[in-house]
Structure 1
Amino acid sequence: MREFSLPALYEVPTDGNLTDLVRRNAAQHPDVTVMGRKTADGGWEDVTAVEFLAEVRAAAKGLIARGVRPGDRVALISRTRYEWVRMDFAIWSAGAVTVPVYETSSAEQIQWILGDSGAVAVMVESGAHADAVESVRDRLPELRHLWRIDRGGLEELAGAGAGVPDETLEERTSAAKADDIATIVYTSGTTGRPKGCVLTHRNFFAECGNVVERLKPLFRTGDCSVLLFLPAAHVFGRLVEVAAVLAPIRLGCVSDIKNLTDDLASFRPTLILGVPRVFEKVYNGARAKAQADGKGRIFDGAAQTAIAYSHALDTPQGPSLGLKLRHFVFDKLVYGKLRAVLGGRCEAAISGGAPLGARLGHFYRGIGFSVLEGYGLTETCAATAFNPYDRPKVGTVGQPLPGSVLRIADDGEVLVHGEHVFSGYWNNESATAEALADGWFHTGDIGTLDEDGYLAITGRKKEILVTAGGKNVAPAVIEDRIRGNALVAECMVVGDGRPFVGALVTLDEEFLGRWAAEHGKPAGSTAASLKDDPDLLAEVQRAVDDGNAAVSKAESVRKFRILNAQFTEEAGHITPSLKLKRNVVAKDFADEIEAIYRA
């Protein structure tokens, strides 16, 4: 058993709640821009600390006027946008509890979350969301109110609350204490129905306060800004929201990442937070463009130099003179252009939700843009470990959150203790007792701690495959490496109880078109038409070989199948946070799995 901890850097208030941050900002930084509100023409409208407080107070008074009481649950169904953040703080200011719901959720999922939480009201973004709620409303007896953002729902609340006295609002705003519930965030449900994680104001203070303090240079008031394009319903998105307000720094919200490059250019953040797929897309897109322009060899040389430069930074002697010169040249030719794609001011990114991979980590660090990989769960209020900006260790998910403890159990499971750990699952005592055994949260993840307290995650305890030969296989390690190939969209390793390890592979439709054109394949080629093409099979085999290089021979993928379809959220194959639902994939593609093992 191994343990590591760091002292707390932030003192959690004993009597306050998260609304104190908004009032503090208005008092101490009245004219500082704390929000960027997206305009219809794609630009940004600044919102100062005083203006944000006023808009939050107006919506909170409306909730009070409509009968929302302290402790009531109010649901939010919307894409990531300024109004989401405003409504979140308004719910807290009314003394209520926010229940975020993914905007992609089905009517059945909405019914479960609103019903299980006992939500009395819901703010939705659009007519489609309203229709989904209305289709199950007869099964939601406690739901009394529904408002729509796109139909002036927030303005309606402001009008309704115009007569609520300031004294009444102040009483409500001050009612919740640190240990009261701030939100119930439902897990993605990779193995069953979502469970509601109860997170308190204390959890968020401990989490966001210590993140901001440990990464202080990235949270400079009046200078730094962060662009949020993760789902606000995800706990990682809430970390960004609350940390930005706590710092405070300017926060911008993006609803659709299709135009992310344009949004980065117009908002010009100094910090972004994302999932590995975003950083993979940026890298693969740049490489594909370079190849299309006849500059593929230059890009590949630049990438190799960046990775070598990053590795050299970890050595006592540092980069050699020759490496420094090559790095200088490529900075002019390639790296500067890549940094410009990220807005031109971006200093760093925090990546979570899935493994980033050492290759990409070293590449970005080598071009002068550190992607600080972290690790956490809904139950730990987002990050329970992250790489410090001044001492990152690529290939790990960093050191524990200051003020918390990480422990590796005898069976390799990662255990967590700290003020950021949730208090339990809503209406689910048995699941709570199992997860919080002996005062430690049992993550279900397998990992290791090095001598400096850096954590490496090697797999999921419940996802460990055991082959017919008795070999334990952690799928995440191989899958991460295989997904590093631009052609691969998703990969799922199989082999539980089988004679060897196999893999199901889906192709990235965007890059498949480019690849087909470059290799003389017919226009309009699809995964179905090319799945038996020797050149395509050879390219995917190269991706598999790269994955196999990270594991032992017994753990390596012997055979793979290219699928005609994609793993989609709509089909139930992945969660809104892009985690694989392995049991659903295995069921829907059972014939493909059998084909791998057919003699």
Structure 2
Amino acid sequence: MTASLDTRLGALLRNHPARLITSHGTVDDASLAARIEHAAEWLLRSGLSRVASRLDNGAAWCVLDLALRRIGGVHVPLPTFFSNVQVRHALATSGAQCVMTEMQAEMPSGAEALVGFLDDDNLACWRVAPTTEAPVLPPGTACITYTSGTTGHPKGVCLDAATLMAVAASLVEASSAVSPRRHLCLMPLSTLLENVAGLYAALLADAAIAVPSLSEIGYTGASGLHVPTLLQCLHRYQPESVILVPQLLLALVMAAEQGAPLPASLRYIAVGGGRVGPSLLARAQALGLPVFEGYGLTECGSVVALNRPGATRAGSVGKVLPHARVVIVEGEICVQGAKALGYLGDVSLPAGPIHTGDLGYLDPDGFLYITGRRKHVFITAFGRNVSPEWVESELLAQSAIAQAVVWGEGRADNVAVLVPRQPGTSDDALIHAIAEVNAQLPDYARISRMVRATAPFSVAEGLLTANGRPRRDAVLARYTDEIESSYRHIPLFSTSGVPA
């Protein structure tokens, strides 16, 4: 464990009444420290230092992660929504010696035998079937986190503990104006953002951390969400801070607009992981929700910039955090400072700043704005550049639309491939939603044509990344015929953006 976190944990042994809060009860500082120490000793006795986990959110996840920090080991967190193929790939490419699961879980794909149990935390340890010689990791690797990448195989990013703690410390500073005392982990802890901001930053801030299971939060499968269960979870744990992806924020906003009460305890709602449409942020603010949009990427240890109380600007993702520096090179956002050690299979990242592939700019006051992805921008037949993420974020703020991919390369107007939020949603309802969005867009970015997807984009079908973003090339390839057919007919919308 790094000196900063180790020292901080030592200072926290003041019998905090509810350091970790679960559906089964609370874990105070002394109990947490004892469980971390026991797990660390067990790992050392077992000769395990490169450990994968496939665990639900809960105290055991936190204990295992912090025990690995204690012994200077490597944690390879695997999301529970990874497919068996993705799990085998991650275990093979990381060189993990074992994978930890809940005791009642079946042997995971890629494992070959049960090693033993870490009884105090109800964890089973499975030996990983060796395939090749374990890959050499960059010196100092503490975490291998897998990103969705652009193919079906996730990509392993190696990070050191000092980088993770630098980001966590910046996040503590960013929230210091409200100093949340209880954080609720609503994202999987296997997600780097929740690991750093929900666990490390909360520990450094001396806050309590609620870690309910994913099912208690309301997740169903890889991307489903039962909103009434989510609301029950919020009221049960009464958090002061949470981290949301845009779709979770939309779910809360829609529920509140329909009269569902939200906890009055909420003081800091950070949202990231994808572009948030200005209209959705405006709706959240109209409800009085303390929402602060941020921006980051795995290669930079997670969060790079964040709006915060007293330093917020509409349309921006906030000011750059102290551990990072941003420069704009030919319109592309490049980040210096905190940096991953490298990717699995590579010795290190190229020297110099990280070229994010994101387009944006800094205003005179230092607020960062994201305008799109360089590789996703398409050019219309009239020579106008369109960032599809911008239009898609506005479409996704409509209650009728669950998923969207926008395209118009070389065309006189643009088409949207849409997945309705409910199977029974009529085409007329989708057309009305598009009209609402078109009213807020310049003419070159408006949607003129619509293709209704035959099924939701999913990971299993190869149309969705592991973290829920559409694989736009795959979606466009799947619906090529329907898109071409739409262009052979009169547009649904006029150039003014209203139904024709």
- Which residue in the other structure is 2:386 paired with? 473
Structure 2: distance between partners of 1:359 and 1:461: 23
Which of 117, 121, 129 does residue 154 from structure 1 map onto?
A: 121
**Contact kept? 2:57, 2:189, Cα under 8 Å:** yes
**Contact kept? 1:482, 1:491, Cα under 8 Å:** yes
- Which residue in the other structure is 1:592 paired with? 482
Structure 1: distance between partners of 2:101 and 2:79: 11
TM-score normalized by structure 2?
Answer: 0.86
- Which residue in the other structure is 1:37 paired with? 22
- Which residue in the other structure is 1:508 paired with? 421
- Which residue in the other structure is 1:414 paired with? 333
Which of 292, 299, 303 does residue 379 from structure 1 map onto?
A: 299
- Which residue in the other structure is 2:243 paired with? 273
| Higher alpha-carbon Rg | 1
Structure 1: distance between partners of 2:474 and 2:9: 43
| Aligned residues: CA RMSD | 2.5
Distance verdict in 2 for CA 1:286–1:147, change over 3 Å:
farther
- Which residue in the other structure is 1:56 paired with? 36
Structure 2: distance between partners of 1:584 and 1:18: 42
Shift of 1:93: 1.9
Shift of 1:551: 3.8
Trace 1:14-413 onto structure 2 (pairs within 5 A). Answer: 16=3, 18-26=5-13, 29-39=14-24, 45-68=25-48, 72-125=49-102, 130-134=107-111, 137=112, 152=119, 154-155=121-122, 180-191=140-151, 193-219=153-179, 224-239=181-196, 240-254=198-212, 255-256=214-215, 257-258=217-218, 259-287=229-257, 289=258, 338=261, 341=262, 343-410=263-330, 412-413=331-332
Q: Which amino acid aligns with 1:417?
A: Q
**Contact kept? 1:483, 1:543, Cα under 8 Å:** no
Shift of 1:191: 4.3
**Contact kept? 2:376, 2:387, Cα under 8 Å:** yes
- Which residue in the other structure is 2:130 paired with? none
Distance verdict in 2 for CA 1:373–1:540, change over 3 Å:
same
Structure 2 residues not aligned, in runs of 5+: 126-138, 219-228, 490-500
Structure 2: distance between partners of 1:213 and 1:228: 19
**Contact kept? 2:114, 2:124, Cα under 8 Å:** no
- Which residue in the other structure is 1:546 paired with? 436
Shift of 1:32: 4.5
Q: Which amino acid aligns with 1:278?
A: L
Compare 551-560 and 379-388 and name the one that shifted more. 551-560
Shift of 1:497: 3.9
Higher RCO by CA contacts (8 Å cutoff, separation 6 or greater):
1
- Partner SS state of residue 189, structure 1: coil
Structure 2: distance between partners of 1:280 and 1:388: 20
Which of 458, 467, 470 does residue 371 from structure 2 map onto?
A: 458
Structure 2: distance between partners of 1:496 and 1:416: 29
Higher helix share: 1
Structure 2: distance between partners of 1:155 and 1:478: 46
Shift of 1:155: 4.8
Structure 2: distance between partners of 1:488 and 1:77: 32
Which of 342, 349, 354 does residue 424 from structure 1 map onto?
A: 342
Structure 1 residues not aligned, in runs of 5+: 1-12, 40-44, 138-143, 159-178, 291-336, 510-525, 531-535
**Contact kept? 1:385, 1:398, Cα under 8 Å:** yes
Structure 2: distance between partners of 1:153 and 1:571: 39
Q: Which amino acid aligns with 1:63?
A: L
TM-score normalized by structure 1?
Answer: 0.72
Kindly, what percent of the aligned residue pairs are identical?
28
